[in-house]
Amino acid sequence: MTPNGVFAIAYGGQGDIRAVEQWRRMGKAHDFDGWRAAMSLQGIPSFNAVYADRTGMIAYFYNAAIPDRSPGQDWSKTADGGRGDLVWNGVRPFGSAPFIVAPQSGYIVNANHSPFEASGEGDNPDPAAYPPHLGIDRRSTNRGIRIQALYGGDEEITAEEFLAYKMDDLYAEESRPRKLIASLIEEGARDAELSEAIDVLRTWDGSTRRTSRAAALAVRTAHLNLGYRMMGELDPIEEPNPRDALLRASRELKEGFGRIDPEWSEAVRLKRGALSLPIDGGPDILRAVYPTGSPAEGPQTSGGGDTLIIYADWPPDGPPAIKTTHHFGAATLDEGSTHYADQAALFAEEKWKSPPMTLDAVMAEATGDYRPGRK
């Protein structure tokens, strides 16, 4: 019961406990047909899913348990619970949501943006085939824009370029944050109270590199006016007026750092135990880093974004060639373990390790062995 009445909430995966079974079948699949059969369980009601194997087969599924519901209702709003015609009839069958299989362009990309921008021209699903009542995400994001510009704009990508593109730290000119800052520069040019902040913003190139002296002010302003994910629609907006957002960001940085242009490496840190490390990246950046707290209290902690990242390549023979990096370490909960934060420095420097992929290689590196639940 709320001040506005009684509400009932449902979602597509309600009552379905087959997620673990689906994950298992996906992991055990030997080819695309087996993997796709596992996906058809629809036990996992969300999460974008991408497939790749050594044959060069690639596929993308906008994995969603979409309710089978009335097309005449605006489902972005509260529905009338007294209308029987609005009751769902289960979920739509697997394959009803957008997907891409073996695209001619040879690539698939997705960073939680629109599935209609996940591959090359001619390979993307047709938005017209998915009416609004299905609720398919149609939002463009900075990560979506940059991932297409980098991976989609390079016809011959080396392994080194592939890894470098993942760590891209730029906001595209057509992204929401860049447009917001551009409008503030234009409108604030004649505003004496904003002159110091505008001078700093003029130097911003859209990057979140650790050496940038404009990123802290630009990103904090965008956070306040566009929300935590820089979407301007999903998260609570703290400062709806862009000018107020800029003034507040300036005050906070002055309070926390004594200046409005600290380096990004001062303003945002990767913290783990006793470690506090500089890091590149920002919200809705391919090198995803989401600061928490307020800069008025000093350096903000990276509280979300990139975590475990795995790069896989398939040589003609033998096991996959793997590179990984992790923001903390393998012992995520055991503060007394040597592996509690042993990967943090590697992660902050955007470096990778190559784990062993055969039993002999594992045994050669092993420092001990154990069986779960036994000493």
User: Would you state the CATH architecture of domain 19-138?
Assistant: 4-Layer Sandwich (3.60)
Q: What is the mean pLDDT of residues 34-56?
A: 94
Say what percent of the chain tops pLDDT 90: 79
Q: What is the mean pLDDT of residues 322-350?
A: 93
Residue type for 134, please? L
pLDDT tens digit sequence for 195-254: 999 999 999 999 999 999 999 999 999 999 999 999 987 788 999 999 999 999 999 999
Q: What is the mean pLDDT of residues 332-339?
A: 91
Same CATH topology for 19-138 and 176-305: the answer is no
pLDDT tens digit sequence for 247-297: 999 999 999 999 999 999 999 999 999 999 999 999 999 999 999 999 999
Q: What is the mean pLDDT of residues 126-143?
A: 93
CATH superfamily of 176-305: Aminohydrolase, alpha-helical knob region (1.10.1400.10)
Q: What is the mean pLDDT of residues 149-162?
A: 93
Average pLDDT, the chain: 93
Q: Pick from 123, 101, 104, 114: which is nearest to 147 by CA?
A: 114
Above 80 in pLDDT, residue 375? no
State pTM to two decimals.
0.91
Asked if residue 343 lies in contact with residue 329, where contact means CB atoms within 8 angstroms, the answer is: yes
Quote the tokens at residue 263.
């380096």
| Beta strands 321-325 and 58-61, pairing class | unpaired
| Beta strands 268-272 and 300-305, pairing class | parallel
pLDDT at 4: 79
pLDDT at 360: 92
Contacts 24+ apart (CB under 8 A), 155-159: 159/313
Above 80 in pLDDT, residue 1? no
pLDDT at 61: 97
**Where exactly are the structural domains of the chain?**
19-138, 176-305, 309-365
Q: How confident is the model at residue 372 (pLDDT cuts 50, 70, 90)?
A: confident
Q: What is the mean pLDDT of residues 59-79?
A: 92
Q: What is the mean pLDDT of residues 156-177?
A: 95
Say what percent of the chain tops pLDDT 70: 99
Q: What is the mean pLDDT of residues 78-105?
A: 92
